[in-house]
């Protein structure tokens, strides 16, 4: 039976938040370390890549399980991360456009929808985020950082060592060295504003290189021309991958040093596929296929390989169940690992909407072997102007070759002035998806099946991306202004203070006598003379004013 038809889970969820994590449990819940590199497909030794130097990640795969068919719900960071953090497709709750803040609003999920790390925190986990957040609920740097303060105990730490003794932790570590922007040359001339602002990060990235890949050795996908500029960018990516692997090794070493490796569920993955032209921002495998490796001592079989489909929306329910918590009814993903593993779905789905300032609307559905892509605005080029992407030397070179009429074969397909309304690819025979089978009579039945499945999913998911973005602005920020969360109210009883907010779905944080912010889950036991400071936030709204409560 679907979770949507099991209302008793709401009561179970409430009890889980109010009871200690180890109440009646035979074993304490595992620590959870989620390592998320940026902008990277499965270019790892464990996935058979002959160039990648990734000994630490490869060792993790030998000690755990490697998933061959893992995919994100978007080929770009913010929409993908929005789906991951909620366990709900980004378009279901209005987070599908790239950086909704650029559209004049933030996504506002329904009142009962909470980020899964906040649910872990409410149940007693110490939650720490290092690096990018980017799940469409912040205005900081256009939303790339920040977000509801109630989700995390610590947003500046690089590890889990700030927690209380024996407190389980959930650590979400983003490794940015493989990001698209780290592929730019160290120096460009004449430098523009963007190149100048990002120069320190590129210098730092170059300093991290362990070795330098020979550009002559890198494999070239068929949708790129084989020339020195393309090879140099790919070689730079492999240099960054090797440095990223060293960072993974440092995190795993910290677990060992702290004696926590045997009690920690470790996941290595990425936020979407390659940060390269025709990969990033697109629902082809080059943009959505990700590495996924999980080591859970006592649960995963060392060196195993799993062929099942996994989606980005599956992370939330899987980690909640790993922690012994129920999965909320609204979650769309499934538990793909552990004692409560659920059956494999027939399909996974992805979407592309506005990219920077450019309107777009693309949807896809994939089974184990075939990918179907539908362009809902086919009368425009595939290549839309993306300022950030256009800084990449490879992209500059592709544009130059296109304008000179020098692109032929598969590399020319992406530069067509209009799109195929439908695309169907056999991913077994055509892993790079350069042969569209949608017009092939031999695949008519498969096309009809995939077409029907996408239609079904669009209706079932309540895809808000099918609306014009102006409608989302009006819905989430009426009058063009960000709503403000109502400040907490309090009720006092002997030795306790209760907090509430008039804003439906608001999360409340508090601190005592200027201490660290804590997540409110129920009446607070306090002594005489204490001072409580509280504030509230509904996701996507502005935080409330702080309220000071002085106890006699």
Residue 40 contacts residue 77 (beta carbons within 8 Å): no
- CA torsion 502-508-514-516 (nearest 10°) is -170
77 catalytically annotated: yes
CA 378 to chain centre: 27
Tokens of 371: 């990918």
- Is the Cα torsion angle 330, 333, 339, 342 positive or negative in sign? positive
Give the active site residue among 34, 44, 77, 325. 77
- Quote the CA–CA distance of 135 and 145 in Å, as a whole number: 8
Structure tokens at 348: 């996974």
By the 8 A CB rule, do 532 and 524 touch? yes
Q: Residue 320 corresponds to which tokens in the numbers above?
A: 């909640």
- Give me the torsion for CA of 312, 239, 303, 289, rounded to 10°: 30
- Give me 545's structure tokens: 């004013």
Distance of CA 125 to the CA centre of its chain: 20
Q: How far apart are CA 461 and CA 122, in angstroms?
A: 28
How many Cβ atoms from other residues are within 10 Å of residue 47's Cβ?
Answer: 18
Per DSSP, the residues of 77-111 read HHHHHHHHHHTS-GGGTT--SSSGGGGTS-----T
Rounded to whole angstroms, the Cα distance separating 374 from 307 reads 25
Both tokens of residue 197? Answer: 């602002």
H/E stretch holding 270 reads strand 264-270
Closest C-alpha to 503, from 550, 464, 535: 535
d(CA 309, CA 306): 9
Helix (H, G, I), strand (E, B) or coil at 255: helix
Preceding peptide of 291 cis, ω within 30°: no
- What are the catalytic residues? 77
């Amino acid at each position: 039976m679907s979770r949507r038809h099991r209302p008793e889970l709401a009561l179970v969820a409430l009890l889980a938040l109010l009871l200690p994590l180890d109440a009646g449990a035979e074993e304490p819940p595992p620590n959870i370390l989620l390592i998320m590199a940026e902008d990277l497909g499965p270019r790892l030794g464990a996935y058979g890549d002959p160039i990648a130097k990734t000994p630490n990640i490869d060792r993790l795969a030998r000690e755990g399980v490697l998933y061959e068919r893992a995919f994100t719900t978007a080929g770009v960071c913010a929409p993908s991360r929005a789906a991951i953090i909620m366990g709900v497709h980004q378009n279901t709750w209005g987070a599908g456009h790239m950086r909704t803040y650029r559209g004049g609003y933030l996504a506002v999920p329904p009142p009962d929808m909470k980020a899964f790390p906040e649910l872990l925190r409410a149940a007693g986990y110490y939650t720490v985020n290092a690096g990018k957040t980017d799940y469409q609920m912040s205005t900081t740097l256009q939303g790339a950082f920040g977000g509801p303060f109630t989700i995390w105990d610590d947003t500046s730490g690089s590890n889990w060592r700030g927690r209380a003794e024996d407190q389980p932790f959930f650590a979400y570590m983003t490794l940015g060295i493989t990001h698209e922007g780290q592929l730019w040359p160290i120096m460009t001339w004449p430098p523009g504003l963007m190149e100048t602002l990002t120069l320190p990060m590129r210098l730092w990235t170059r300093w991290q290189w362990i070795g330098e890949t020979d550009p002559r050795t890198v494999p070239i996908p068929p949708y790129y021309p084989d020339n020195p500029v393309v090879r140099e960018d790919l070689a730079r990516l492999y240099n960054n991958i090797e440095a990223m692997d060293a960072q993974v090794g440092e995190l795993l070493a910290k677990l060992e040093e702290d004696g926590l490796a045997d009690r920690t569920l470790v996941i290595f993955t990425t936020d979407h596929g390659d940060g390269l032209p025709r990969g990033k921002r697109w629902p082809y495998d080059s943009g959505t296929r990700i590495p996924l490796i999980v080591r859970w001592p006592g649960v995963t079989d060392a060196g195993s390989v799993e062929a099942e489909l996994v989606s980005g929306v599956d992370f939330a329910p899987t980690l909640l169940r790993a922690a012994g918590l129920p999965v909320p009814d609204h979650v769309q993903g499934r538990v793909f690992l552990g004692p409560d593993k659920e059956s494999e779905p027939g399909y996974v789905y992805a979407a592309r909407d506005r990219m920077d300032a450019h309107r777009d609307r693309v949807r896809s559905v994939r089974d184990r072997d075939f990918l179907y892509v539908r362009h809902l605005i086919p009368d425009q080029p595939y290549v839309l102007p993306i300022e950030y992407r256009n800084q990449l030397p490879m992209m500059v070179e592709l544009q130059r070759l296109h304008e000179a009429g020098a692109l032929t074969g598969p590399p020319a397909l992406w530069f067509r002035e209009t799109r195929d309304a439908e695309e169907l690819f056999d991913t077994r025979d055509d892993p790079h998806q350069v042969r569209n089978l949608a017009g092939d009579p031999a695949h008519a039945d498969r096309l009809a099946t995939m077409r029907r499945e996408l239609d079904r999913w669009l209706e079932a998911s309540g895809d808000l991306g099918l609306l014009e973005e102006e409608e989302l602005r009006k819905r989430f920020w009426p009058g063009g202004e960000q709503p403000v969360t109502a400040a907490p109210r309090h009720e006092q009883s002997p030795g306790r203070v209760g907090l509430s907010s008039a804003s439906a779905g608001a999360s409340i944080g508090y601190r005592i006598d200027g201490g660290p912010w804590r997540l409110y889950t129920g009446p607070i036991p306090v002594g005489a003379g204490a001072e409580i400071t509280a504030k509230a936030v509904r996701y996507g709204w502005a935080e409330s004013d702080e309220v000071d409560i002085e106890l006699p």
